[in-house]
Amino acid sequence: MARTQNSRTWLEHAMSYVDMKWPQSSAKHRKSIAEALATVTPVFYSTERGAPSEKMAREALYGWAFNKGRRDGNEEVPEPLTVVWKWLKENSIPLRALDTDTALIRKALDALSVRINGQTAAPTTIARKRAVFSGVLKYAVEIRQLETHPLPRVSWKAPKAIEEVDRRSVANPTQARALLQAVRGVAPDYEAFFGCLYYAALRPEEALHLRDRDIVRPIKKGGWGWLHLTGATVTGGQGWTDDGKPTEDRGLKHRARKASRPVPAAPALLLLLDAHLKAYGTGPDGRLFVTRRGPGGRYVPTTGRPFSSNAYGRVWKRARQKALSEAECASPLARVPYDLRHAAVSLWLNGGVPATQVAEWAGHSVNVLMRVYAKCVDGQEDAARRRIAAALAAEDTGDGDDAPKLPGTA
């Protein structure tokens, strides 16, 4: 009786989970949690009578209930959402209903597989949202609100995510250089940024975090240098960061907060970086790639805000249209800036650099590296065909009189 009396509703528990995860989560992960919970919560209405529209419910859930920062800043729900919020609180099912109702769990999983527009979500999106949903249920077991985790009782399979890089998206060196040259004509202050993605296989957020002090130049001019990566600048949105800025600085992916990663800097990349610094300087904190503006093509640092993903995405789109043919533009070839990183890692592997070394430079495990880039290693198929041809030739010619004969043959 006490457990029943103290049982939470689904909505109360989901908000409690958000509050628990908020302090240690990045802005991007906070948004991911809110997105998943806002998607699945309408499944757990106790009735559809008087339910608010999907748009209003999402605004109340994603925009307020599952955003701890906004709730802490304004304890009362915003005025336009007062009626909506009252209905949501009063019509959320008891959390303990999930202990026995497997059909409801299946319905929730199905909801996570659909986008707002009704189309099927990408496998990676489904997997990400399912992980959040599983985490919420696991937390309920941890705090003794549920007896057992209900997901294993439901036989439901998510679409298999394709992890391998599409080799059609990987630009060859000639195409990559043409694209960088096109960027120079579209927005010259972005050329070195994209150069970091191609020549050093940096993730965009790692390039945005790069500062002048992170560049180690060679003793002899024209030699190789190093980039010492110390973090990543991730775009999360003003409503999801602790300081209200659209970006936040985080540690390197899959590494400790203060870990660093050295990456070799090719002479071509060092030329781009030096030219960039000479022409544009750095932001107030030494950051290389910050927004700039000025009349007559004179660029000056403004607030020192890093390039936004929308801004460099637009530049890249224009550069593709300028550098590639119509057929290539319609293809997956270098469709997004991240494909430059794929091109760099593929080039290293094709050049014969050991996988362990490539994984270290790229910030991957060897297992992930080979699973993701296995199909982009050029030359393996040709080598395999040559071996098969040699084996067939040896079989056809035999090996003189000592060649083995099949039973019953002369």
pLDDT tens per residue across span 284-316: 888 999 887 655 445 555 567 888 889 999 999
- 372 compared with 109, residue with greater pLDDT: 109
Whole-angstrom Cα Rg for the chain: 27
Comparing 37-41, 65-69, 103-107, 283-287, the range with the smallest average pLDDT is 283-287
Q: What is the pLDDT of residue 395?
A: 65
Which domains are present in the chain? 2-153 (no CATH), 167-376 (1.10.443.10)
pLDDT value of position 400: 47
| CA-based max dimension of the chain | 97
Tell me if 177 sits within 8 A of 188, measured CB to CB: no
Highest mean pLDDT among 136-140, 170-174, 282-286, 383-387: 136-140
Torsion of CA 182, 184, 187, 192, to 10 degrees: 120
Is the pLDDT at 385 greater than 60, yes or no? yes
Cβ atoms of residues 7 and 85 within 8 Å: no
> How far apart, in whole angstroms, are the C-alpha atoms of residue 65 and residue 82?
12
CA angle 354/356/357 to nearest 5° reads: 70
Instruction: Please tell me the predicted confidence (pLDDT) of residue 268.
Output: 95
Q: What is the mean pLDDT of residues 337-364?
A: 91
Residue that has been written with the tokens 């109360």 in this structure: 12
State the pLDDT at residue 115. Answer: 85
* pLDDT tens readout for residues 232-273: 998 888 788 888 888 888 888 877 778 899 999 999 999 999
What's the pLDDT score for residue 376?
72
Which of 37-51, 321-335, 378-392 shows the lowest mean pLDDT across its residues? 378-392
| pLDDT recorded at residue 130 | 93
Whole-number Å distance between alpha carbons of 33 and 13: 13
- Distance in angstroms (rounded) separating the CA atoms of residues 113 and 103: 16
CA pair distance 368, 370, nearest whole angstrom: 6
pLDDT at 399 exceeding the cut of 60: no
Q: What pLDDT score was predicted for residue 406?
A: 46
Does 365 have pLDDT greater than 70? yes
Mean pLDDT of 151-171: 80
For residues 215 and 370, the model is more confident at 215
Total length of the chain:
410
What pLDDT does residue 379 have? Answer: 53
